[in-house]
């Protein structure tokens, strides 16, 4: 029998901020997962960043918990999220990208974790899904002990869709920095982790959709933003004895280059990682980048990542299948 979680305090209103632009079909799925949250009081702030599709119709047919906001012209994802923060009424703010979706216990689990640990923000594990919504892998969250230091070396939290933060903390640190886009979340995490304790929810309660238009595939923009991020946090990293951008960051960038079609640049960067950090699996990944994914998958089997399961088969991720089936049933009614 599934364990029953206590209901959080009613005063813990959660404001869910969803930035969107020309993705009505994906947005409708994200909204369904938010409105299905169990045992939590919430409001939903959809920030339409200059859409030209049916997104604007949301204002006429929205659930009463949804507030529709529009930027015209588009101002970018960082400013769209900041608009949501400014309009939020909740004690907590949770972010959801319009192409991702949540388990029904996601927000409640985070509220309970924060209450138990006296934390000002929380993050969950991730289950990656492909465009057919088939589960591909589960990424386990990094532990909260020492998180502030690890965040200087890499984005140790991942997608903003997994994150919930006290609104007062977001206001204190100034929200998302509009100077960043691809790395805006990483920059924010560094600042909120310096402001208070984080609480992790180990279960993969956030589904992250991998598809051709993922922002993280823009490797050139990510590299340009990384240079600015390194300068911005250089003093903090020096005091912590850390270099901004460790092995995991450079491997992420190499993978982004490979997935975006820049195979030779990705392979070269994997080789550099192997030499710089003495990591043998990066040699196989470099070869796999040039010759195909089989070698790369083989390297992962020989040198498995501590934070990943190969196919998203953990029982805690079964909610994805249930959510997808419910959506299909609803569409047939």
pLDDT of 228 > 60? The answer is: yes
Q: Place 213 in a pLDDT band, splitting at 50, 70 and 90.
A: low
Cβ atoms of 123 and 198 closer than 8 Å:
yes
Residues with Cβ within 8 Å of 122's Cβ and at least 6 positions away in sequence, in order, are 110, 111, 113, 114, 163, 164, 198, 199, 200, 201
CA Rg, the chain, in Å?
20
Q: Quote the pLDDT of residue 319.
A: 95
Residue 12: per-residue pLDDT: 84
Tokens for 297?
């998958």
What is the per-residue pLDDT for 316?
76
DSSP sequence for 250-310: HHHHHHHHHHTT-HHHHHHHHHHHHHHHT-THHHHHHHHHHH-HHHHHHHHHHS--TTEES
Write down the mean pLDDT value for the chain. 87
Predicted confidence (pLDDT) at residue 212 exceeds the cutoff of 70: no
Instruction: Please count the CA atoms within 13 angstroms of the CA of 274 that sit on its side-chain side.
Output: 15
Question: 60 pLDDT exceeds 90?
Answer: no
Fold of 14-213+311-332: Spore Coat Polysaccharide Biosynthesis Protein SpsA; Chain A (3.90.550)
Q: Which of 170, 158, 80 is nearest to 121 (CA)?
A: 170
pLDDT tens profile 265-286 = 988 988 888 888 887 777 777 8
* Rounded average pLDDT over 212-217: 56
> Tell me: the pLDDT tens digits for 89-138?
999 999 999 999 999 999 999 999 999 999 999 999 999 999 999 998 89
Spatial separation of the C-alpha atoms in residues 59 and 57, rounded to whole Å: 5
Inform me whether the pLDDT recorded for 312 exceeds 50. Answer: no
pLDDT of residue 307: 47
Mean pLDDT of 297-310: 48
Q: Do 317 and 138 meet the contact criterion of CB atoms below 8 Å apart?
A: yes
The pLDDT of residue 118 is: 97
Residue 293 has pLDDT above 60, yes or no: no
Confidence of residue 292 (pLDDT cuts 50, 70, 90): low
CB 161 within 8 A of CB 97: yes
DSSP structure class, residue 220: H
Sketch the domain layout of the chain as residue ranges. Answer: 14-213+311-332, 217-307
Closest CA to 117 of 196, 184, 190, 182: 196
The CA-CA-CA angle for residues 182, 187, 190, to 5°, reads 145
Distance between terminal CA atoms of the chain? 29
pLDDT, residue 303, reads: 45
Question: 51: pLDDT confidence band, cut at 50, 70 and 90?
Answer: very high
Q: How far, in Å, are 63, 135, 219, 277, 289 from residue 269 at the CA level?
A: 47, 28, 12, 12, 10
The two structure tokens encoding residue 200: 């992790």
* H/E run at residue 186: helix 184-193
At 59 the pLDDT is: 60
Note the pLDDT of residue 44: 97
- pLDDT of 333 > 80? The answer is no
Tell me the pLDDT tens digit for each residue of 231-248: 999 999 999 999 899 888
CA 233 to chain centroid, in Å, comes to 21
- What 3-state class would DSSP assign to 63? coil
């Amino acid at each position: 029998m599934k364990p029953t979680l206590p209901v959080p305090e009613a005063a813990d209103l959660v404001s869910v901020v969803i930035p969107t632009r020309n993705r009505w079909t994906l947005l409708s799925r994200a909204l369904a997962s938010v409105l299905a949250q169990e045992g939590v009081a919430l409001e939903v702030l959809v920030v339409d960043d200059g859409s030209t599709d049916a997104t604007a119709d949301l204002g006429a047919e929205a659930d009463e918990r949804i507030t529709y906001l529009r930027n015209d012209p588009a101002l970018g994802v960082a400013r769209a999220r900041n608009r949501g923060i400014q309009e939020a009424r909740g004690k907590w703010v949770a972010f959801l990208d319009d192409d991702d979706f949540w388990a029904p216990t996601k927000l409640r689990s985070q509220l309970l974790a924060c209450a138990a640990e006296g934390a000002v923000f929380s993050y969950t594990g991730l289950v990656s899904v492909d465009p057919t919504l088939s589960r591909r892998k589960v990424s386990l969250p990094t532990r909260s002990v020492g998180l502030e230091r690890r965040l200087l070396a890499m984005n140790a939290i991942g997608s903003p869709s997994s994150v919930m933060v006290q609104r007062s903390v977001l206001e204190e640190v100034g929200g998302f920095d509009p100077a960043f886009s691809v790395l805006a979340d990483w920059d924010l995490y560094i600042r909120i982790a310096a402001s208070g304790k984080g609480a992790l929810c180990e279960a993969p309660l956030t589904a992250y959709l991998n598809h051709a238009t993922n922002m993280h595939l823009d490797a050139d923009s990510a590299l340009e933003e990384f240079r600015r991020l390194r300068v911005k946090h250089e003093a903090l990293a020096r005091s912590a004895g850390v270099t901004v951008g460790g092995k995991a960051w450079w491997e992420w960038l190499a993978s982004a280059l490979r997935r975006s079609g820049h195979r030779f640049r990705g392979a070269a960067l994997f080789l550099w990682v192997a030499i710089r950090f003495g990591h043998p699996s990066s040699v196989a990944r470099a070869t796999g980048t040039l010759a195909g994914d089989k070698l790369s998958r083989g390297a992962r089997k020989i040198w498995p990542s501590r934070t990943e399961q190969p196919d998203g088969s953990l029982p805690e991720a079964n909610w994805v299948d249930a959510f997808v089936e419910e959506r299909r049933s609803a569409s047939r009614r």
